[in-house]
Amino acid sequence: MTVMMLSGLTVLAQNKLIVNADQGKTQISKHIYGHFSEHLGRCIYGGIWVGPDSDIENINGYRTDVFEALKNLNIPNLRWPGGCFADEYHWTDGIGPKSERPKMINTHWGGVTEDNSFGTHEFLNFCEMLETTPYITGNVGSGSVEEMSKWVEYINFDGVSPMADLRRRNGREEPWNIKYWGVGNESWGCGGNMTPEYYANEYRRYATFARNYPGARLYKIAGGANSTDYNWTEVLMQKIPLRMMDAMSLHYYTIPGNWGDKGSSTEFSEREYLVTLEKAAFMDELLDKHETIMDKYDPRKRVKLIVDEWGTWYDVEPNTNPGFLYQQNTLRDAFVAAITLNTFNNHADRVHMANLAQTVNVLQALILTDEKEMLLTPTYHVFDLYKPHMDAILLPTHLESEDVKIEDVQIDALNVSSSLSKDGTVNISIANIHPDKAIDLEVALRGSDAKSVSGRYLTAPELNSHNSFENKDVVGIQEFKDYKWNKDALNVKVPAKSVVVLQVK
């Protein structure tokens, strides 16, 4: 809460936002709006891929409804095949005639049989259809340097070579020329339980043989820290020559309770709601701390941060496979998305990419499916609202916000970020997390004489409102009109429990 002292009287400052429209310097990489699809539960199988012979409408095996929904979001990238799955995935099992592909057990996720019918070609062709950038995570934990090196050759080499020839025999003439390459996943845990010193050495070895081919320079991503493991970041920055890594990752999940009792996705008290959002807002401090360490070794911010797993993690829905991580998605999740995306925008000088976990049917999903049915979650709608920020220039803001307090938990009611699009439009995204108070916000646009405003917003009757297969439109986007100019300031009434995106030009 911002408090001002006036002639000895303590008064609450009004809610005020200053947007410095002529002081933008840093581009918000569109890749901050990226996604993650693992071989986990019904994310790939049933969520993205049903196979060409399915009764569910599909384009060459990919669900038509899911494809269209992702296309509408212009998703900038998609991370695959894991997650923990990546470090037990052997890519050669997923190429060639489907009937000859070996099966394996997905030991991390439900112990189900993985038939490898979705492999390298299926993933990269899907990315091409979506016109999105692929991001592949290679196997360090149970793979070999040779295996990873050959995968890169298979995907990216244009000349005559054993792997490029194999790719051609499997029906793909041109290389895909992919850029983003992760060297292992969670090597501190499911990816091999390594120490940071050991992983740093492994990274150097694997990254050396993940070759750049003509027209396909890899952007190499070191597997970074688990949440507040600042030592992991410190050691990697110390031990890996900066020229050998383009970025380092970071994983952070928002869990209302603890790993043993995470909490329900739909049944929660107002206090638990606020705790969840307080934990989501912690991303700001988390990034500050990792960035401070990185700044020490890399003051020019050449090595980027990639938050390639983030989102809410609750107890699974009752009567679903605990290994499938299927959860509902309510208005609360929309706020987690809005706060986190605002935070990434505001850290755009170091954060180059982020990937929400996970695209369909897993954790904080954009989309849920049930056989032929599909619905868009509140989180999907936040990504839709925030589209104008992609590749726009971050604008410095100053926010004075009142607090929201429930029992012992107290945080800012408002959370914002702002950007400038190429055509001069100023985009302002505002989350008002107050459960029942509309907030009058004065927005001062400095350095801009823009006057024409349009807006869209998201709200719902209850904090736990969600879209279900019976009613898919409980939480959706509406036009926003509750603003008016007062001299040079824009007075906005931000509805209780809402996410508003204004565009001023």
What residues are labeled active site?
Answer: 186, 309
Shortest spacing between CB 229 and ligand AHR, in angstroms: 13
Q: Is the Cβ–Cβ distance between 442 and 15 less than 8 Å?
A: yes
Q: b/e string for 176-202 if b means 16 or more Cβ within 10 A? A: bebbbbbbbbbbbebbbebebeebbeb
Shortest spacing between CB 177 and ligand AHR, in angstroms: 26
Q: Which of 57, 115, 72 is nearest to 369 (CA)?
A: 57
- Strands 476-479 and 453-459, bridge-based pairing: antiparallel
Q: How buried is 215 (Cβ within 10 angstroms: 0-12 exposed, 13-18 middle, 19+ buried)?
A: exposed
Q: Between 249 and 425, name the residue whose CB sits nearer to ligand AHR.
A: 249
Per CB under 6 A, the list member of 47, 83, 175, 388 interacting with ligand AHR is 83
Positive or negative: CA dihedral 480, 482, 484, 488: negative
Please state, in angstroms and rounded to a whole number, the distance separating the CA atoms of residues 441 and 464.
Answer: 25
For 1, other C-beta atoms within 10 Å of its C-beta total 14
Output the residue with the shortest Cβ distance to ligand AHR: 83
Shortest spacing between CB 161 and ligand AHR, in angstroms: 32
Which segment (77-85, 153-161, 371-379, 411-419) binds ligand AHR by CB under 6 A? 77-85
Q: Between 153 and 186, name the residue whose CB sits nearer to ligand AHR.
A: 186
Q: Is 54 left (phi over 0), alpha (psi -120 to 50) or beta?
A: beta
Per CB under 6 A, the list member of 235, 357, 399, 458 interacting with ligand AHR is 357
Shortest spacing between CB 453 and ligand AHR, in angstroms: 38
Shortest spacing between CB 75 and ligand AHR, in angstroms: 17
Interaction residues for ligand AHR, span 248-277 (CB under 6 A)? none
Does the protein bind ligand AHR through residue 24 (CB under 6 A)?
A: no
Which segment (82-90, 209-217, 346-354, 377-385) binds ligand AHR by CB under 6 A? 82-90
> In which element (H, E) is residue 41 found?
none
Number of residues that bind ligand AHR (CB under 6 A): 10
Does the protein bind ligand AHR through residue 114 (CB under 6 A)?
A: no
Shortest spacing between CB 323 and ligand AHR, in angstroms: 11
Positive or negative: CA dihedral 443, 445, 451, 456: negative
Interaction residues for ligand AHR, span 306-345 (CB under 6 A)? 309
Q: Between 186 and 333, name the residue whose CB sits nearer to ligand AHR.
A: 186
Residue 61 tokens read as 């095996």
Shortest spacing between CB 311 and ligand AHR, in angstroms: 8
Interaction residues for ligand AHR, span 186-205 (CB under 6 A)? 186
Q: What is the DSSP letter of 137?
A: E
Per CB under 6 A, the list member of 133, 139, 185, 265 interacting with ligand AHR is 185
Shortest spacing between CB 358 and ligand AHR, in angstroms: 6
Q: Between 38 and 333, name the residue whose CB sits nearer to ligand AHR.
A: 38
Q: Which of 87, 310, 108 is nearest to 191 (CA)?
A: 87
Interaction residues for ligand AHR, span 365-384 (CB under 6 A)? none
Residue 408 tokens read as 């012992």
Output the DSSP codes for 264-288: -SS---HHHHHHHHHHHHHHHHHHH
Shortest spacing between CB 85 and ligand AHR, in angstroms: 6
Interaction residues for ligand AHR, span 277-296 (CB under 6 A)? none
Q: Between 17 and 357, name the residue whose CB sits nearer to ligand AHR.
A: 357
Which segment (43-51, 343-351, 357-365, 471-479) binds ligand AHR by CB under 6 A? 357-365
Residue 227 tokens read as 């949440």
Which segment (46-54, 81-89, 213-221, 262-270) binds ligand AHR by CB under 6 A? 81-89
Per CB under 6 A, the list member of 29, 38, 233, 339 interacting with ligand AHR is 38
> In which element (H, E) is residue 319 found?
none
- Residue 497 makes CB contacts below 8 A (sequence gap 6+) with 331, 335, 432, 433, 434, 435, 436, 459, 460, 463
Q: Between 38 and 272, name the residue whose CB sits nearer to ligand AHR.
A: 38
Q: Between 67 and 85, name the residue whose CB sits nearer to ligand AHR.
A: 85
Which segment (126-134, 203-211, 355-363, 459-467) binds ligand AHR by CB under 6 A? 355-363
For 465, other C-beta atoms within 10 Å of its C-beta total 19
Please state, in angstroms and rounded to a whole number, the distance separating the CA atoms of residues 445 and 20.
Answer: 6
Does the protein bind ligand AHR through residue 82 (CB under 6 A)?
A: yes
Residue 35 tokens read as 């996604």
Q: How many whole angstroms from its chain centre is CA 62?
A: 22
Judged by the rule CB under 6 A, the positions of this chain that interact with ligand AHR are 38, 82-84, 185-186, 309, 357-358, 363
